């Protein structure tokens, strides 16, 4: 006789009986969503039998010697498996507990994987040091979580019963959707390259080169790449791939440092907030580029007075500057942070279009964005090549290239040069934002992260150097046309992308074509980087709340997220929005980001264990070439000593520079309250580390030392990726004792 649980039965009397026998046991209701159909369909649909659990199992250990419980069981062909997502319902009688334990052997007690199930039942290899029992007798004492469960109806059984069987069946799917993976390794490589190769490669690196000694700047640049960029890049990729989790959930490896993931989430949110404003500006310029003549060129009728005055040195602004400040930003109508003014509605429409594009590209997760990057990650290289070829044919281009590569060896003695090199490596590779960690979490477990690190990081830095030739060859022609030194037309940041370079494009034949090409490149550069930032945000949230992975919920979540960012971004496209843009840009990725990566490096090296982390990397690279093993030793030295020291140097320099210099946008100097607001912005991102560390310590028990040790110890759910199998994960463990597998002497009876 076999029993099964009927979904329509009343459990209250049984719970009351169990509570009387086990007063220290916490009982809870069985969630209705955990009920899954089981067994044959009954004649009456109202009495359809249901079962909770990960395996379809039968139990032949229970005989007719036990009376049928009136409220708990009904006659059928199967045995129930009971558990709750928050508490395990402990039955009060041995006949029911024994069936429960046997049916859960595959999913809880033994942690068997689906491929280990067989039609003959549990294999002999699954029970080391003891034989598989031939018979299982009811009434044996059973321990569940170190609590002995006694039988309510002790009986004597004179005949052995057949061994229990575990029938093979595919586990029921989880309520939430499973994690996605990249469609191919090239999607991951292109996504990372697109994420790293951003606007900073075009508008910041060339400027830093000529400001810090030209070609000499490459020396500290590549030194910082070797000792800061590559180690941190590999650390973030390896952590994400091994843990197969986002920036927050991945810190199961060291719960004390969960605040690092929360800080990454906040940094990515701040960057995404203002980064799409750049894409909105790009959309605006792209739309204006389909006019002839270009509205920022001297050939445009409205710019004729400006260009005539410029020839007589009577005008403060060029035509491109006037277009940027008056028609695009409207900053001439604002007096500072305290005076944002009305929203610029043409920019508001462009910003809305930009967020709709991001929403549509990310709607299906990496499956959709992974296909988009085939275009967005490769198109900028095509445009840069075309611009270099075109620039090389222009008059004065060689002067621009010479200015770009001029060498001033005395600049190596300046601390600012080394800080600029480190910061450019840091921000260009996108370390500490959570985007790299999130994208790597969708990799296959055996992906070669060391190879990917070298390809992506070195490719990114070479792209920066390559882009400098395209920029300065055309700026050299611009200086030749205006008969001024190249240094007077060179600029950094938005000033280069939206003032100097558009003006240079306006001087070329077929200027509208080159302008469309350039701003398409700017759009693809910005979108790829924003993909990475948004992926870091969505992955962090979806891993913490897996129920949101269901397609409709994910669509609503992503739509709400983009809409909230759009509303917050409206402040940045007001007439005084450029002042807020500069403030967020200056402080959101400043000292807070350096502190986050510093603790990430220290936490992995000293809390999680650098030796363990190196073994994890080798485990992932199944066929590890000899050169990979040697590189692991190099990275190990960087994580323990070199990289933390360089990060401390950058952090100290940032604090000194922040104290000694004031923030400006053009002639406008930011007030103290504005600077204090920026410092608070950076503080909010890094203060998450001590706050969440305090939470982790308070959750543990024991002395302060014991709590700290427990808080840095990986959780049991960490390191699930190496199994390559679907594990039915529940938060409880059943402790099986020898008596569960040994048959008592015939004729004996146990309570």
Binding residues: 194, 197, 201, 428, 460, 525, 528
Q: How far apart are CA 70 and CA 72, in angstroms?
A: 6
CA dist 330 to 97, 159, 282, 496, 576, Å?
A: 74, 93, 16, 18, 8
Q: How far apart are CA 27 and CA 11, in angstroms?
A: 11
CA dist 411 to 212, 219, 416, 575, Å?
A: 6, 11, 9, 39
User: Angle formed by the axes of helices 672-686 and 591-602, to 10°?
Assistant: 20
Contacts of 707 (CB under 8 A, 6+ apart): 697, 698, 700, 701
Place of tokens 């039955």: 91
Helix or strand run (H / E) with residue 355: helix 345-361
Tell me: cis bond preceding 293? Omega within 30 of 0 counts.
yes
E strand segments, 432-585: none
- Could you list the residues known to form a binding site for Na(+), using ranges: 194, 197, 201, 428, 460, 525, 528
Q: Is the dihedral of CA 90, 95, 96, 97 positive or negative?
A: positive
664 DSSP β-pair partners: 669
Q: How far apart are CA 105 and CA 107, in angstroms?
A: 6
CA nearest to 188, candidates 507, 435, 539, 484: 435
User: How many other C-beta atoms are found inside a 10 Å radius of the C-beta of residue 533?
Assistant: 26
Q: How far apart are CA 597 and CA 233, in angstroms?
A: 10
Contact 744, 134 (CB under 8 A): no
Contact 436, 430 (CB under 8 A): yes
Output b/e per residue, 706-726; b: 16+ Cβ within 10 A. Answer: ebbebbbbbeeebbebeeeeb
Place of tokens 């706050």: 691
As given in the structure block, the two tokens for residue 232 are: 């941190």
Residue 608: strand, helix, or coil? helix
Helix or strand run (H / E) with residue 668: strand 668-669
Q: How far apart are CA 315 and CA 321, in angstroms?
A: 11
**Diameter over CA atoms, the chain:** 116
Place of tokens 């950076």: 682
Output b/e per residue, 129-141; b: 16+ Cβ within 10 A. Answer: eeeeeebbbbbbb
Helix or strand run (H / E) with residue 372: helix 366-376
Contacts of 557 (CB under 8 A, 6+ apart): 538, 541, 542, 548
**Got the DSSP string for 174-185?**
PSSPPPP--SSH
Alpha helices in 570-625 (DSSP H): 577-588, 591-602, 610-620
What is the SS3 string spanning 32-92?
Answer: HHHCEECCCCCCCHHHCEEECCCCCCECCCCCCCCCCCCCCEEEECCCCCCCCCCCCCCCC
User: Angle formed by the axes of helices 366-376 and 345-361, to 10°?
Assistant: 120
560: burial class by Cβ within 10 Å (0-12, 13-18, 19+)? exposed
Q: How far apart are CA 205 and CA 202, in angstroms?
A: 7
């Amino acid at each position: 006789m076999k029993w099964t649980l009927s979904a329509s039965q009343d459990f209250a009397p049984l719970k009351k009986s169990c509570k009387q026998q086990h007063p220290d046991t916490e009982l809870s209701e069985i969630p209705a969503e955990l009920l899954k159909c089981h067994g044959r369909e009954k004649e009456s649909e109202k009495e359809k039998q249901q079962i909770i659990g990960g395996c379809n199992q039968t139990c032949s250990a229970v005989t007719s010697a036990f009376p049928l419980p009136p409220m708990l069981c009904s006659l059928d062909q199967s045995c129930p498996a009971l558990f709750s997502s928050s508490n395990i319902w402990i039955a009060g009688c041995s006949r029911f507990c024994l069936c429960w334990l046997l049916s859960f052997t595959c999913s809880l007690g033994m942690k068997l994987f689906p491929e280990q199930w067989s039609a003959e039942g549990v294999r002999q290899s699954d029970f080391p040091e003891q034989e598989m029992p031939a018979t299982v007798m009811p009434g044996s004492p059973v321990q569940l979580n170190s609590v002995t469960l006694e039988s309510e109806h002790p009986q004597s059984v004179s005949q052995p019963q057949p061994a229990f069987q575990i029938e093979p069946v595919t586990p029921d799917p989880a309520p939430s959707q499973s994690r996605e993976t990249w469609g191919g390794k090239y999607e991951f490589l292109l996504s990372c390259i697109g994420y790293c190769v951003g606007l900073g490669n075009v508008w910041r690196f060339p400027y830093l080169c000529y400001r810090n000694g030209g070609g000499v700047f490459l020396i500290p640049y590549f030194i910082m790449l070797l000792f800061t960029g590559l180690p941190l890049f590999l650390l973030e990729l390896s952590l994400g791939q091994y843990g197969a989790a986002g920036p927050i959930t991945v810190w199961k490896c060291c719960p004390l440092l969960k605040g690092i993931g929360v800080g990454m989430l906040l940094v990515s949110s701040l960057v995404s907030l203002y980064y799409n404003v750049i894409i909105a500006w790009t959309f605006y310029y792209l739309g204006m580029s389909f006019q002839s003549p270009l509205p920022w060129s001297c050939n445009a009728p409205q710019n004729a007075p400006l260009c005539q005055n410029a020839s007589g040195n009577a005008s403060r602004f060029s035509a491109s500057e006037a277009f940027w400040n008056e028609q695009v930003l409207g900053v001439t109508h604002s007096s500072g942070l305290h005076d944002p003014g009305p929203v610029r509605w043409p920019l508001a429409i462009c910003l809305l279009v930009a967020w709709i594009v991001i929403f549509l590209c990310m709607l299906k997760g990496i499956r959709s964005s992974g296909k988009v990057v085939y275009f967005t990650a490769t198109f900028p290289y095509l445009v840069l090549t075309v611009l270099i070829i075109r620039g090389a044919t222009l008059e004065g281009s060689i002067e621009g290239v010479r200015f770009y590569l001029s060498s001033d060896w005395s600049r190596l003695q300046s601390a600012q040069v080394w800080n600029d090199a480190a910061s450019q490596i840091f921000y260009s590779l996108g370390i500490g934002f959570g985007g790299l960690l999130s994208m790597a979490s969708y990799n296959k477990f055996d992906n070669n992260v060391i190879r990917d690190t070298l390809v992506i990081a070195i490719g990114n830095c070479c792209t920066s150097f390559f882009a400098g030739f395209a920029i300065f060859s055309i700026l050299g022609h611009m200086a030749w046309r205006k008969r001024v030194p190249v240094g007077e037309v060179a600029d950094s940041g938005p000033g280069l992308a939206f003032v100097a370079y558009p003006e240079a494009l306006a001087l070329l034949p077929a200027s509208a074509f080159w302008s469309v090409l350039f701003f398409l490149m700017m759009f693809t550069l910005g979108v790829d980087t924003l993909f990475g930032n948004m992926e870091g945000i969505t992955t962090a949230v979806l891993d913490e709340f897996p129920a949101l992975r269901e397609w409709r919920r994910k669509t609503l979540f992503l739509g709400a997220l983009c809409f909230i960012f759009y509303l917050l971004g409206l402040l940045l496209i007001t007439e005084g929005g450029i002042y807020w843009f500069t403030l967020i840009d200056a402080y959101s990725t400043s000292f807070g980001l350096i502190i986050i990566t510093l603790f990430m490096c220290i936490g992995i090296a000293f809390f999680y264990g650098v030796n363990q982390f190196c073994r994890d990397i080798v485990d992932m690279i199944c066929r590890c070439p000899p050169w990979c093993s040697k590189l692991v030793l190099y990275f190990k030295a960087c994580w323990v000593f070199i990289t933390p020291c360089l990060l401390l140097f950058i952090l100290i320099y940032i604090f000194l520079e922040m104290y000694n210099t004031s923030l400006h946008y053009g002639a406008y100097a930011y007030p103290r309250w504005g600077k204090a607001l920026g410092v608070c912005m950076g503080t909010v991102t890094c203060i998450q580390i001590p706050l969440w560390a305090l939470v982790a310590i308070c959750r543990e028990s024991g002395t302060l030392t014991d709590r700290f040790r427990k808080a840095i110890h990986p959780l049991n759910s960490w390191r699930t990726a190496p199994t390559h199998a679907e594990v039915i994960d529940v938060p409880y463990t059943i402790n099986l004792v020898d008596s569960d597998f040994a048959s008592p002497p015939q004729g004996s009876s146990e309570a």
